[in-house]
């Protein structure tokens, strides 16, 4: 790779950062942010055994060990190799094993073969993490203000990159555990109702109306954002209505029981082909036993809770459900406009439920009388939009390896918004654009419907 290009790219892949604190404060703040993120990754693995950490259950899934090492490679490649004088990789071969898709950073191992790599061991991967962490600490401690100006955007990008991999680590280990007939438990269940007292979301779904408006879409350069969130631009958003909350399991079961998966009139052509090829008859991880739907969760195998937002839904299923329900999926612009008035709060990974939160079945008179508004725009489940993942007007891919972070994936994918129960609350934004191919459903993906004026 070209390190200078990578450095320049970081400022464009990430938003500008303004520096006002003194050097000791600034170093302390960066170190804290770095170590909090690294430690949280380690905590996610605390109850995993080495045998858990090496399995690759499908090509989309990476072994836990690979996530641990790849996030470390990111800091080593884009910061240490550039800015730490005399730095030499302890094990040069890691660059090949743990590069994901950055062609400008060199050759890489095949993604679908990551589960065949028994060495380095899990403990060696953890040692690698510790070693790189120490080097980052040293680099920050010795850096002058000018060097910190160069390092900070890359370090913050690395933190957000690691937060993305925390989410993948969780969804990947769920897919790994789901292959095991013993249904291992990642974390025991807690009282979800107590931890998410948003009783109003249990009400029948309502629609919140929005007038036509020219809306500013995209990042405004305040704080961190990925390059794919900009440039900020104006979009005419015609009148629409958005559901007050995500679709919950009881509603989705009604679609399933109405033979939704067997009626082509609800499905896009590609979706119908996929349903039949894959023999889908329900969301991923669902099984019917003795007339009752069960699902595998990170807390084990249990009956489907009808009051939880439905999850592990492909774009095809989300679109078919919306059609069945007489609605449609929102555009990402409608979603962002609606979210502009919503606080960024909800069930995130810090809550450690690792599942969309159920809501209490009883609704108090006070809650029932609440004003009509949007609930759960953030957290719980990523919400599919009908917007293809494509560049905003004026978007340009940054030069160098880090320019490969987002731009080259703007083809054949759809945008999702709002974050999930596996997303960090410090990682999500109103302008955040996640993206997946329409047949993918191993992420915590769900549905919020919209409709045109009646």
For binding to Fe ion (CB under 5 A), which residues are involved? 100
- In whole angstroms, the minimum distance from the beta carbon of 165 to Fe ion comes to 6
Question: Please, are residues 243 and 206 in contact by the beta-carbon 8 Å criterion?
Answer: yes
d(CA 318, CA 386): 10
- In whole angstroms, the minimum distance from the beta carbon of 426 to Fe ion comes to 18
Of 315, 267, 271, 326, residue with least CA distance to 450: 326
If the CB atoms of residues 313 and 401 are measured against Fe ion, the closer one turns out to be: 401
d(CA 346, CA 374): 12
CB atoms within 10 A of CB 294: 15
- In whole angstroms, the minimum distance from the beta carbon of 70 to Fe ion comes to 6
Q: Which residue is nearest to Fe ion (CB)?
A: 100
Whether the upstream peptide bond of residue 120 has omega within 30° of 0, thus cis, is: yes
Cα 229 off chain centre by = 15
- In whole angstroms, the minimum distance from the beta carbon of 83 to Fe ion comes to 20
If the CB atoms of residues 100 and 244 are measured against Fe ion, the closer one turns out to be: 100
If the CB atoms of residues 78 and 286 are measured against Fe ion, the closer one turns out to be: 78
If the CB atoms of residues 105 and 313 are measured against Fe ion, the closer one turns out to be: 105
Question: Please, are residues 356 and 248 in contact by the beta-carbon 8 Å criterion?
Answer: no
If the CB atoms of residues 100 and 295 are measured against Fe ion, the closer one turns out to be: 100
Instruction: Give one DSSP letter per residue of 68-104, joined into a string.
Output: HHHHHHHHIIIIIHHHSTT---SSTTHHHHH--S-GG
If the CB atoms of residues 157 and 284 are measured against Fe ion, the closer one turns out to be: 157
- In whole angstroms, the minimum distance from the beta carbon of 73 to Fe ion comes to 9
- In whole angstroms, the minimum distance from the beta carbon of 97 to Fe ion comes to 13
- In whole angstroms, the minimum distance from the beta carbon of 363 to Fe ion comes to 42
If the CB atoms of residues 100 and 166 are measured against Fe ion, the closer one turns out to be: 100
- In whole angstroms, the minimum distance from the beta carbon of 66 to Fe ion comes to 10
d(CA 139, CA 10): 18
**Residue-wise over 391-404: b if at least 16 C-beta within 10 A, else e?**
ebeebebbebbbbb
Question: Please, are residues 23 and 146 in contact by the beta-carbon 8 Å criterion?
Answer: no
If the CB atoms of residues 100 and 443 are measured against Fe ion, the closer one turns out to be: 100
**Residue-wise over 9-21: b if at least 16 C-beta within 10 A, else e?**
bbbbbbbeeeeee
The order of strands in the sheet holding 240-243 is 207-210, 240-243, 450-451
């Amino acid at each position: 790779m070209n390190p200078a290009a990578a450095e320049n790219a970081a400022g464009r892949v990430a938003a500008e950062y303004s520096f006002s604190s003194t050097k000791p404060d600034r170093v302390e703040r960066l170190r804290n942010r770095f170590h909090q993120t690294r430690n949280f990754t380690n905590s996610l693995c605390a109850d995993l055994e080495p045998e858990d950490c090496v399995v690759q259950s499908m090509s989309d899934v990476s072994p836990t060990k690979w996530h641990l090492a790849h996030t470390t490679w990111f800091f080593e490649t884009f910061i240490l190799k550039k800015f730490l004088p005399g730095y030499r990789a302890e094990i040069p071969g890691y660059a090949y094993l743990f590069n994901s898709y950055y062609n400008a950073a060199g050759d890489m191992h095949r993604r679908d073969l990551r589960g065949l790599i028994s060495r380095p061991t899990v403990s060696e991967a953890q040692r690698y993490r510790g070693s790189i962490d120490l080097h980052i600490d040293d680099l920050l401690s010795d850096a002058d203000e000018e060097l910190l100006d160069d390092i900070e955007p890359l370090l913050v990008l690395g933190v957000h990159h690691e937060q993305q991999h925390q989410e993948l680590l969780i969804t990947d280990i769920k897919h790994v555990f789901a292959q095991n007939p013993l249904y291992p438990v990642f974390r025991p269940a807690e009282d979800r109702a107590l931890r998410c007292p948003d009783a109003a979301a249990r009400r029948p779904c309502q629609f919140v109306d929005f007038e036509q408006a020219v809306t500013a879409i995209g990042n405004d350069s305040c704080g961190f954002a990925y390059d794919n969130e900009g440039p900020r631009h104006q979009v005419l958003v015609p009148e629409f209505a958005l559901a007050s909350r995500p679709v919950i399991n009881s509603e989705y079961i009604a679609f399933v029981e109405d033979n939704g998966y067997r009626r082509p009139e609800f499905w896009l052509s590609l979706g119908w082909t996929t349903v039949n090829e894959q023999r889908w008859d329900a969301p991923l991880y669902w099984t019917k036993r003795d007339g009752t739907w069960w699902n595998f969760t990170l807390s084990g195998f249990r009956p489907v809770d009808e009051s939880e937002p439905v999850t592990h839904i492909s774009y095809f299923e989300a679109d078919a459900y919306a059609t069945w329900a007489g609605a449609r999926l929102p555009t990402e612009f409608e979603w962002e406009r609606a979210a502009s008035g919503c606080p960024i709060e909800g069930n995130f990974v810090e809550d450690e439920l690792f599942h969309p939160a159920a809501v209490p079945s009883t609704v108090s008179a006070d809650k029932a009388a609440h004003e009509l508004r949007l609930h759960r725009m953030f957290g719980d489940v990523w919400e599919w939009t009908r917007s293809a993942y494509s560049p905003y007007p004026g978007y340009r891919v940054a030069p160098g390896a880090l320019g490969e972070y987002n731009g080259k994936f703007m083809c054949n994918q759809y945008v999702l918004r709002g974050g999930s129960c596996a997303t960090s609350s410090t990682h999500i934004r109103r302008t955040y654009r996640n993206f997946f191919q329409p047949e993918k459903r191993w992420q915590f993906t769900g549905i919020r419907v919209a409709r045109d004026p009646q």
